[in-house]
């Protein structure tokens, strides 16, 4: 990549404060910026790096007022964090080439429908009656079962397994070794102490603009669908059980596990190693702190929950203060 400050400002809808002809060829974190790189500043606790940084361009918020001289050219935007994400996406899209390719060691069923400029890597398998949308990339060693539907502009990384009958929307990214559509963990106890497997006849529906991390598992439903709504972002090593519904634009960090038939609201934030019990609902705009265990429904929107069992943030702080005090006695 090679951009001038004025070009970056035009792409991001910002303004230039400094040399509009400043040229950069790489990205860098603001802590380690050097000549020829571009950085961004959004978190106030990193402000001291702005004055030390040797990068040629720094993306900052329009409201930023330097307290010391800044050697770099500043590109001022409404939201620096969102702007750098947009710039990274722009650079990546320029590098991405779309061409139809089918690896000689891949197997694609004759009854499948493959869109324009779809990439199918070596040792990939595409089952009968599968539908793959335009410009989608199926990487090496991917398994796509019979009757799977995948939209356009998706990226399926190596080792992903998509079971028969699953439905995936447009602009979906599924990272390596994720499994979509395995049976849920459903067994009925019998009188002799053994367990009878409950067959799962449903599927998984993943809507548009979803990203799923490496080694994450999303189980198909017993009946109906396990649903991941539009814009959801799921980290690595997460477990989504059968019949779960995750609301639009919810994000969850690694090692989160959600038990069966739970409904998670829209715009929720679920931190790492959270465990959520089954058959409950989580209200919209809920934030759940790391390692929390949610055992019952969360009905009030916009609250922060911590601890196991999870309780509201302020209650948790009071309880923690009492625990510390008791420990010193």
Residues annotated as part of the active site: 242
The CB density around residue 71, as the number of other CB atoms within 10 Å, is 13
6, 25 in Cβ contact below 8 A?
A: no
> What is the number of residues in the chain?
329
Alpha helices in 96-225 (DSSP H): none
Rounded Cα gap, residues 9 and 23, in angstroms: 12
CA distances from 163 to 3, 72, 141, 211, 256 (A): 43, 51, 14, 18, 22
Q: Kind of pairing, strands 15-17 and 73-77? A: antiparallel
219, 242 in Cβ contact below 8 A?
A: yes
Alpha helices in the chain (DSSP H): 5-12, 47-52, 80-95, 313-327
The CB density around residue 203, as the number of other CB atoms within 10 Å, is 21
Helix (H) or strand (E) holding 174: strand 173-174
Angle at 308 between CA 306 and CA 313, to 5 degrees: 20
208, 228 in Cβ contact below 8 A?
A: no
Token readout for 157 is: 């990384």
């Amino acid at each position: 990549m090679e951009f001038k400050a004025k070009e970056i400002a035009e792409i991001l809808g910002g303004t230039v404060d400094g040399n509009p002809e400043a040229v950069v060829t790489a990205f860098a974190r603001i802590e380690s910026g050097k000549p020829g790189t571009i950085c961004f500043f959004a978190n106030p606790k990193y402000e001291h790096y702005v004055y030390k940084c040797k990068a040629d361009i720094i993306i900052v918020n329009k409201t930023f007022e330097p307290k010391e001289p800044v050697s770099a050219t500043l590109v001022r935007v409404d939201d620096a964090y969102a702007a750098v994400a947009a710039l990274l996406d722009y650079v990546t899209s320029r590098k991405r080439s779309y061409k139809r390719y089918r690896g000689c060691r891949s197997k694609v069923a004759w009854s499948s429908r493959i869109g324009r400029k779809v990439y199918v890597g070596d040792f990939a398998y595409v089952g009968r009656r599968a539908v793959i949308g335009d410009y989608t990339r199926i990487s090496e060693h991917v398994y796509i079962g019979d009757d799977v539907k995948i939209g356009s502009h998706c990226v399926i990384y190596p080792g992903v397994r998509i079971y028969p009958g699953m439905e995936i929307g447009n602009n979906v990214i599924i990272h390596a070794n994720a499994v979509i559509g395995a049976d849920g963990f459903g067994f009925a106890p019998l009188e002799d102490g053994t367990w009878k497997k409950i067959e799962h006849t449903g599927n998984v529906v993943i809507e548009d603009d979803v990203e799923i991390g490496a080694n994450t598992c999303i189980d198909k439903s017993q009946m109906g669908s396990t649903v991941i709504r539009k814009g959801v972002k799921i980290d690595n090593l997460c477990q989504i059980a059968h019949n779960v519904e995750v609301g639009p634009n919810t994000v969850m960090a690694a090692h989160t596990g959600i038990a069966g038939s739970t409904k998670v609201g829209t715009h929720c934030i679920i931190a790492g190693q959270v465990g959520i019990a089954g058959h409950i609902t989580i209200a919209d705009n809920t934030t759940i702190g790391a390692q929390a265990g949610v055992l019952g429904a969360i009905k009030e929107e916009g609250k922060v929950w911590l601890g196991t069992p999870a309780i509201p943030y302020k209650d948790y702080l009071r309880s923690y203060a009492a625990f510390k005090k008791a420990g010193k006695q």
